[in-house]
Structure 1
Amino acid sequence: MPFMRVPKQEWPVCLLRWKDRDIKGKARGELEVVDEFRSFVRPTWRPQLSEFCTTLTGITQEQVDHAPPFPEVLEHFRGFLAKHQLIDAATGRRLARFCFCSDGPYDVRDFVVKQCFISKIAPPAWLISDVVDVRRVVGEWHANATAGADRSAERRPSGAFPLPRRVTLSIPRQLHALGLEPFEGRPHSGIDDTRNIARLVVELARRGWKLEPNTPINPNRRWPWMGKRGRVLEEYYP
Structure 2
Amino acid sequence: MAKRLLDLLLVVDVEATCWNGPIPDGQRSEIIEIGIATLDVTTGERIDRHGLLVRPTSSTVSAFCTELTTLTQADVDSGHTFADACALLRTEFKAHQRVWASWGEYDRQAFERQCAAEGVPYPFGARHLNAKTLYSLAHGLDRELGMAGALAHAGLPLDGTHHRGVDDAWNIAALLGGVLRASRPNTARTSG
Cα distance in 2, alignment partners of residues 170 and 132 from structure 1: 16
Cα distance in 2, alignment partners of residues 4 and 170 from structure 1: 15
Deviation at 1:9, TM superposition (A): 0.4
Q: TM-score under structure 2 normalisation?
A: 0.76
Q: Is the 8 A contact 1:101 1:131 kept in 2?
A: yes
Cα distance in 2, alignment partners of residues 187 and 119 from structure 1: 28
For 1:130, give the aligned amino acid. Answer: R
1:202 maps to 177
Cα distance in 1, alignment partners of residues 91 and 113 from structure 2: 22
2:160 maps to 185
Deviation at 1:179, TM superposition (A): 2.3
1:66 aligns with 2:78: yes
Superposed counterparts of 1:218-237, under 5 Å: none
1:37 maps to 50
For 1:116, give the aligned amino acid. Answer: C
For 2:56, give the aligned amino acid. Answer: P
Greater CA radius of gyration, 1 or 2?
A: 1
Q: Is the 8 A contact 1:12 1:37 kept in 2?
A: yes
Q: Is the 8 A contact 1:9 1:40 kept in 2?
A: yes
Q: Which runs of 4+ in 1 moved over 4 A?
A: none
Q: TM-score under structure 1 normalisation?
A: 0.62
**Higher fraction of strand:** 2
2:62 maps to 50
2:23 maps to none
1:133 maps to 130
Deviation at 1:78, TM superposition (A): 2.2
What secondary structure does 2:51 align onto? Answer: strand
Cα distance in 2, alignment partners of residues 6 and 134 from structure 1: 14
Aligned residues: 161
Q: Which runs of 5+ in 1 are unaligned?
A: 20-29, 145-164, 210-238
Q: In the superposition, relative to structure 1, how do residues 142 and 18 fare at CA in structure 2: closer, same or farther (>3 Å)?
A: closer
Superposed counterparts of 1:1-238, under 5 Å: 1-7=9-15, 8-19=31-42, 30-46=43-59, 48-81=60-93, 86=94, 94=97, 98-108=98-108, 110-124=109-123, 127-143=124-140, 169-180=145-156, 182-208=157-183
Q: Is the 8 A contact 1:37 1:80 kept in 2?
A: no
Deviation at 1:118, TM superposition (A): 2.1
CA RMSD of aligned residues (A): 2.0
**Bigger relative CO (Cα 8 Å, ≥ 6 apart):** 2
Q: Is the 8 A contact 1:11 1:190 kept in 2?
A: yes
Q: In the superposition, relative to structure 1, how do residues 79 and 37 fare at CA in structure 2: closer, same or farther (>3 Å)?
A: farther
Give a deviation string over 1:52-71, Cα, whole Å, max 9, x none. Answer: 11100011111111112100
Deviation at 1:18, TM superposition (A): 3.1
Between the aligned residues of both structures, percent identity stands at 28
Q: Is the 8 A contact 1:37 1:77 kept in 2?
A: no
